[in-house]
Copies of this chain bind each other. A is one copy, B any other.
Amino acid sequence: METTRKTPYLRNTWYVAALTTEVGADGLFTRRLLDTSVLIYRRQDGTAVAMQDRCPHRFIPLSMGKRDGDDVVCAYHGLKFDCTGQCKHNPHGTGHIPQAARVRTFPLVERYGFLWIWMGDAAADLALLPDFSPLTDGDPHGVGYTYMHRQANYELITDNVMDLSHIDHLHGEIITTRGQLSPQVPRLRETATTVSARWEWKQTPAMMIFANFLPEPQAEARHFFDITYTAPANIQLSVGATQGNGALDLLDCVGQYDLHTSTPETEGSSHYFFATRRNHNVEDADYNEMKIRAMHEAFVTEDGPILDAQQSEMGTPDLFSLNPVLLTSDVAPVKVRRVLQRLIADERDARLKAVG
């Protein structure tokens, strides 16, 4: 069995491989993740499974083949593999199945509207999958999901969300803070594997996405952003506004609970996944669809071209090698880069120690 290329990604961790809705009941879904082609499909009981999208015989993508119950049959010579990656039928000669006729599988878990994949060599550890259950707890019309492909390293996507000070400069009227965000240095909280940042401010009127759900749409409102990074590339973002005296949280504010998460395709390109659940107007299916479409459009037309141009101008995935000028607003993204760097180094050290 071919081992996957050792590129400097964190491997013993969960990445989003696809939106739940991207992988249908039938059919064979393929996506390149961490420089490896991955086949994803659902067994007849609906459980999604993942394996390398490469027949071990002649290296044809298995996704070019066809389904046979819970198995997949290679298009070229008809080898059949079950969903554990084991070859269970060889139509050639005596039908003997060589011991090496196995496809590498990857642990895959379906949670919070996403399919999460574990591509490391260590045993998959569900305790490492963060809890994003608020996304799926609630009315189905109160949550939206979307996917984008970007020609940019995934850490540039993480930087983008960890430094929300960009929103007044890059984005339009819909989510402007009217200049309130940039002067603030966010309050940080850290653990060994997470970095959180929090901003609080007042603006008049409130952010457009919330104003019409507040008592006085044109009046001042208190706001907050609270974001938490968890490795490798998950950022849970909560944002809300209130004109009352309650706490600045999603219980007392009109607001939303979002997840930004990205997965490397290669070192220079990424899969960007986004989900958003709001705590207001939650049964309005039309509004729900409009909202996720508008957010997708904003990413694609505003953040997307910036990220791609940044990657192209950098010419390398390694930001620090270019000696960037750092601002106070970089405090959160820089901490995140250091956390990830340390986790990758720890993983490499553990591997070397195991070997030798």
Contact = CB atoms under 8 A, between A and B. Distances in A.
Q: Which of A58, A59, A327 has the most CB of B within 10 A?
A: A58
Contacts of A79: 327
Contact of A75 (B54, B73, B306): B306
A56 B324 contact: yes
A94 to B, nearest CB: 7
Interface residues on A, range: 35 or more
Given A77-B166, A78-B182, A169-B75, A60 B310 contact: yes
A324 B2 CA distance: 8
B57 A327 contact: yes
Contacts of A159: 58
Given A37-B313, A59-B310, A59-B313, A325 B101 contact: yes
Interface string A314-336: 10000100111111111000000
A244 interface: no
A1 B322 CA distance: 8
Copies in the complex: 3
A184 B54 CA distance: 25
A96 B182 contact: no
Given A58-B310, A64-B306, A305-B64, A327 B75 contact: no
Nearest to A60: B310
Contacts of A310: 58-60, 76
B2 A77 contact: no
A306 B168 contact: no
A90 interface: yes
Given A92-B165, A182-B92, A98 B56 contact: no
B91 A309 contact: no
B61 A309 contact: yes
A132 to B, nearest CB: 27
Given A93-B183, A327-B93, A313 B76 contact: no
B324 A91 contact: no
A78 to B, nearest CB: 4
A130 to B, nearest CB: 27
A170 interface: yes
Contact of A96 (B77, B319, B328): B328
A172 interface: no
A185 interface: yes
A100 interface: yes
B57 A325 contact: yes
Interface string A49-71: 00001101111110010000000
A179 B61 contact: no
Nearest to A91: B182
A95 interface: yes
9 contacts: A59-B319, A61-B313, A64-B306, A64-B309, A76-B170, A77-B166, A91-B179, A95-B183, A96-B328
